Structure 1
Amino acid sequence: MNKLNKLISLLCGIALAVFLLTSSTIFALNFKTLYKIDTTRLNIPLEANISKEATIKNYTILIDYLNPLNNDDLIFEDFFMSHEGREHFVDVKNIFNIITYVSLFTFILSLILIAHLSRLRNFSFLKYSYFMLILIPLTLAIPFIINFDKSFVTFHEIFFSNDYWLFDPIKDPIINILPQEFFFHESMLILSLLVVCSIILIFLHKKLNKNKI
């Protein structure tokens, strides 16, 4: 394998890993079943003093708003919002827009590079991908499990240029139906998906290399 194909293989491995990371994040965001489970497990309606049906309905409004194809304004049925709260959700939507665009770009790039490398019977890109997908969960899971509170704060400080994410429940009661424990479960779902993806890639790499012999 010449240097160019080694570089293409590495690029393909990175692109595939980024696609799986971003697509896992998108899946977790839209996996509303997890929130429905947590409404009961975390007693969210009771804590927010609102019915379970209204809790899920307002959460669904938020998730639908974050969809890149949705250009409607964010209007909750049962909650008012402050200017800071509204601006924070705009920032969140912008981040998820970027994640979606990156996911789409890396998906297309991966397909093109995989098609090229498959013709050469070069499957080393799978090794690069699963290595990254093993490394990412291990790197993130440790601080998440040890101190999720600090990790949660650090995440917001990195990705947001303001402190609007520090919701005041009086001004933005929507935060009462978005407990931090739910975001921990979301994070664990993403990490679990990455572990599953890495296992699948390991299996494919071994199987395809065995068939080359």
Structure 2
Amino acid sequence: MVWLNKLKNWGQWLSLYLWLVSGTIILTINASWLYFVNAVSQKLGPSVNLSLGRLMTNYYQLLAYLNFPWVPKLAMNDFTDSIGALRHFADVKNLFMLDYGVFIVTSVIVYYFYRRLKRQQQLWRFVLPMQAALWVPPLVAVIMAVNFDQFFVFFHEVLFRNSDWLFDPLYDRIILVLPDTFFLQCFVLAFVIIEWSFAYFLSVGKCALRDLD
């Protein structure tokens, strides 16, 4: 039974990390305010002869398709996509659904895990795992900063089984209003959120340690 307890313990810590990562992804992909800032600062609407309001409407239509399982078909008012682009967005939607599924399942596990640690006065156990985790986002950020284009390509090659993500602006005008700088800022936002999350749980653990003194 010892090995079973160890397996359960590892599973709970893994669930905590997955919960934080999946939650970070959810917050990042739904940060429509960040896209709005890019749309204004880079004048993305005029680049495709659309007003800011109309561009944001199309963006919300894209988000609705990617986020909601009951939206089975991508339909934007001002953008028609090629078969390859539609296939790519369908793949992205599947990844979104997977992320939401992971978040929901791990939320239950993390809730009971946290409650047990708090009841047993063991929240101090967050300290070492979170101290180690705090190094990961900066390390990935440095790798990304060295060559973002190469990182971006590698990121897509890992997540997708084909090259449908390579849009042709002649057929898929949507790529003209989804600049690389926007995706770079999404990565930066995700790093900030996950780093703050690790720091928060670390502070919880340190507070618990002080309470034991």
Same fold (TM over 0.5): yes
Question: What corresponds to 2:110 in structure 1?
Answer: 110
Q: 1:83 to 1:179 in 2, by over 3 A?
A: same
For 2:54 and 2:132, the matched residues in 1 are separated by: 40
SS in 2 for 1:26: helix
Q: Which residue number in structure 2 is paired with residue 137 of structure 1?
A: 137
Unaligned runs of 5+ in 1: none
CA deviation string 1:173-196 (max 9, x = no partner): 111111111000111001000111
Q: Say whether residues 1:188 and 2:185 are aligned partners.
A: no
Contact 1:35 1:182 in 2 (8 A): yes
Q: Structure 1's 179 and 38: CA in aligned 2 closer, same or farther, altered over 3 A?
A: same
Q: 1:18-33 alignment to 2 at 5 Å?
A: 18-33=18-33
What is the TM-score when the length of structure 1 is the normalising length?
0.91
**Conserved in 2, the CA contact under 8 Å of 1:9 and 1:117?**
no
Identity over aligned pairs, percent = 28
- Structure 1 residues 132 and 20: alpha-carbon distance in aligned structure 2, compared to 1, 3 A threshold: farther
**CA drift at 1:31:** 1.4
TM-score normalised to the size of structure 2?
Answer: 0.91
**How far off its partner does 1:27 sit?**
0.7
Residue equivalent to 2:81 = 81
SS at structure 2 position matched to 1:79: coil
Please, what is the CA RMSD of the aligned residues?
2.0
Alpha-carbon separation, structure 2, partners of 1:95 and 1:11: 22
| Secondary structure at the counterpart of residue 61 of structure 2 | helix
CA contact (8 A) 2:80 2:172 kept: yes
CA distance in 1, matches of 2:87, 2:154: 19
Q: 1:19 to 1:207 in 2, by over 3 A?
A: same
Q: Distance in 2 between matches of 1:122 and 1:3?
A: 21
In structure 2, what residue type is equivalent to 1:44?
Answer: L
Residue number in structure 1 paired with 2:198:
198
Structure 2 counterpart of 1:71: 71
Shift of 1:41: 1.8
Cα distance in 2 for residues equivalent to 1:124 and 1:9: 15
Shift of residue 212, structure 1, vs aligned partner? 1.9
- Structure 1 contact 8–113 (Cα < 8 Å) conserved: no
Q: Which amino acid aligns with 1:111?
A: Y
Please say if residues 20 and 197 of structure 2, whose CA atoms lie closer than 8 Å, have aligned partners that are also in contact. yes
In structure 2, the residue matched to 1:126 is 126
Task: State the SS of the aligned residue for 1:199.
Answer: helix
Q: Which moved more, 1:77-86 or 1:114-123?
A: 114-123
- The residue aligned with 1:51 is 51
Match of 2:12?
A: 12
| Number of equivalences | 212
In structure 1, the residue corresponding to 2:135 is in which secondary structure? helix
CA 1:201–1:166: 2 relative to 1, 3 Å: same
Cα deviation code 1:126-168 (max 9, x no counterpart):
2354235413312321122121111110000111001000000
